[in-house]
Structure 1
Amino acid sequence: MASIKDVAKLAGVSVATVSRVLNDKGYVGQRTRELVEQAIKELNYKPNEVARSLFKKQSNTIGLIVPDIMNPFFPELARAVEDTASKFGYNVILCNSDEDKVKEQTYLDMLQQNYVTGIIVSSNTMTATQIEELNIPVVSIDREISKGLPTIVVENSKGAGVATDFLINKGCRRIAHIRGPQGVVNADERCEGYREVVHQEPWFNESYIINGDYDMESSIEATLELLTIHPEIDGIFAANDIMAIGAMKAAYQLGKRIPEELSIIGFDGIKLSSVTIPELTTIVQPIYELGEKATTMLVSLMNREEVGQTYYRLDVELIERNST
């Protein structure tokens, strides 16, 4: 592998001159620049990005912190971020926080030590103070962290209301909700959207709301308990698709037919929802657009470009399939 010294020797210049060309910093004559660029091409020289980062105190890398890489929503989001970052010439470091404050801070420290230029984060535990201390651009995605921080989310409450109304219009008369973790912003918003539709219904019971913790296994256990206590339930709105899939498995274990005896709708629109049996009706988030827009905004902020709008609440869409 060629070194910067090999480039300098072939071009007949000093290492410092090659460095100025690589970093586009300092004066280099046009003819000299052409000689260096030709030598780089001939030797197929690849600059040492680690060394360049140490020298410049910044890199062509951004960080992405997500709470649960096992949830298919986040790998799909990460794909959009990586695709978009690549178009702008940036690499992505993916960090899985497990919603753990200590782990989250460890990742923030690591990203700073690697001189990342900016960070995209989905978190319910990170604070505005932590972000201010980073002193680099940060964009919040999927969950709002603080007012004033560039943020991209979706219409969670509206989507939940649409899902619940849809089940009512399908003829469901006892609709339960599998919610996400207490205190997680989008989980609270989706639960509130469900409540807005059902709170005045004579059949509504607080015990129709159970916590599935945004997790498939937790959802299976919670749904088994729910349907055992309340066999009259004929509709379930789950706050994400993997909990809806868990609810489908629980219904199967109890011998309930979907959708003849129990209709189930999810939220997210992950690709997995279209290959379950039956295929899952869901509220679709524009996952790719979320990642693309967040990354584009972050790059603009890193380049100190004018960013007119820094808060987006994207719309969602109901896709009807065979689970309802």
Structure 2
Amino acid sequence: MKGVRNIERIKIKEVAKKAGVGVGTVSRVLNKREHVSSATKERVIEVIKELDYQPHAIARSLSSKKTNTITVYLLQDFTGFRTNVVRGIQSELRKFDFDIILNCLDTAEEVKTLSKRIQNFYIQSKTDGCIIISLLPESKLKSDLIPKDYPIVLIDSQRDNLPSVYIDNVSAAYNAVNYLFQQGHRSIGYIMGVQSTTSGYERLLGVKKFYQEKGITLDNRFISIDHFTFKAGNKAMKRFLLQEDTNSLTAIFAVSDYQAAGQKSFKKKQV
């Protein structure tokens, strides 16, 4: 039919023929290699746009040894924070024409197989690297299974031999408690994160460190350990109110915005 485009995939040979160049020249333009004149490059790009040519991703990866794809591993406890991190990664990578393959490990047993999964993804999919979000404190990456030339970046966790995007959770929690004490608060409710996560474990460690250094006993009745969610903050406040001496609480320290919003919402309902 007139005006309806043939949906069959346009081949690189057709682009080369219409542009009046060889297939190799089109390939060099696609892979942004040198040794192509500006005039030729512009002509090839024009034809690519005109024909709506879409290079076959697998074929390109075989020739260039690159896939323009990064594997992102998301480990347990899929909170709003972590999903926002994934969105941020994807948004930034798109600026460089990269895509992500998201691999969610839901259980502790799946997390134990992380090193093997990285190896398999490298061998089978040939992704150009991987990002691991919230590697658990007890998790170890097995160096014998992971190719040495395979880039790995950690987010929200840290290992000595790997680059990471990370905050000092211990110091951050310590400083937060110290600030509350400077403001005159001594009876504080603590809404902490699950201890299977690096951030949850280390932030509670920061709280305990402060109390130990000051020689003060930490009242475990007013420590809630749960997921980094709105519901967890709500539930923590409900539990605190069932304790004796609840009225003595003068401050709440929640280790995430979601938990803080949950506890604040519960307090408003009680007013």
TM-score, normalised via structure 1 length: 0.63
> Does 2:127 match 1:116?
yes
1:105 is matched with which residue?
116
1:194 is matched with which residue?
207
1:85 CA displacement: 1.3
* Structure 2 residue matching 1:65: 3-state secondary structure: strand
1:232-271 aligned within 5 A? 233=222, 236=223, 241-242=228-229, 245-252=231-238, 256=242, 263-269=251-257
Q: What is the aligned counterpart of 2:31 among 11, 17, 23?
A: 23
* Structure 2 residue matching 1:127: 3-state secondary structure: coil
Distance change >3 Å, CA 31–CA 53, structure 1 → 2 = same
Distance change >3 Å, CA 46–CA 172, structure 1 → 2 = same
Q: Which amino acid is 2:25 matched to?
A: T
> Does 2:127 match 1:139?
no
Higher relative contact order (CA 8 A, sep 6+): 1
Q: Which amino acid is 1:57 matched to?
A: K
1:49 CA displacement: 1.6
1:317 is matched with which residue?
none
C-alpha distance in 2 between matches for 1:22 and 1:155: 43
Which structure has the greater CA radius of gyration? Answer: 2
Q: Which amino acid is 1:42 matched to?
A: E
Q: Which amino acid is 2:155 matched to?
A: I
> Does 2:78 match 1:70?
yes
1:68-217 aligned within 5 A? 68=76, 70-98=78-106, 99=108, 100-103=111-114, 105-122=116-133, 123-124=135-136, 125-127=139-141, 129=143, 133-145=147-159, 147-166=160-179, 168=181, 169=183, 171-173=185-187, 175=189, 178=192, 180-181=194-195, 184-199=197-212, 200-204=214-218, 208=220
C-alpha distance in 2 between matches for 1:238 and 1:186: 12
The alignment yields a C-alpha RMSD, in angstroms, of 3.7
C-alpha distance in 1 between matches for 2:190 and 2:40: 72
* Structure 2 residue matching 1:92: 3-state secondary structure: strand
C-alpha distance in 1 between matches for 2:123 and 2:254: 37
Contact 1:63 1:120 in 2 (8 A): yes
1:161 CA displacement: 1.5
Q: Which amino acid is 1:267 matched to?
A: V
Q: Which amino acid is 1:102 matched to?
A: T
Contact 2:192 2:254 in 1 (8 A): no
Distance change >3 Å, CA 70–CA 132, structure 1 → 2 = closer
Deviation digits for residues 58-77 of structure 1 (CA, Å, limit 9, x no counterpart): 12122221213622221111
Contact 1:11 1:35 in 2 (8 A): yes
Which shifted more, 24-33 or 76-85?
24-33
1:178 CA displacement: 4.0
Contact 2:130 2:153 in 1 (8 A): yes
Q: Which amino acid is 2:206 matched to?
A: G
> Does 2:42 match 1:34?
yes
1:38 CA displacement: 2.0
1:27 CA displacement: 3.8
Contact 2:173 2:203 in 1 (8 A): yes
Deviation digits for residues 243-262 of structure 1 (CA, Å, limit 9, x no counterpart): x74153254378559x9665
* Structure 2 residue matching 1:160: 3-state secondary structure: helix
Q: Structure 2 regions of 5+ residues with no counterpart? A: 1-8
Q: Structure 1 regions of 5+ residues with no counterpart? A: 209-229, 281-320
C-alpha distance in 2 between matches for 1:196 and 1:103: 31
C-alpha distance in 1 between matches for 2:52 and 2:247: 64
TM-score, normalised via structure 2 length: 0.74
1:278 CA displacement: 1.9
1:14 CA displacement: 3.2
Q: Which amino acid is 2:194 matched to?
A: G
1:8 is matched with which residue?
16
Contact 2:178 2:210 in 1 (8 A): yes
Aligned residues: 251
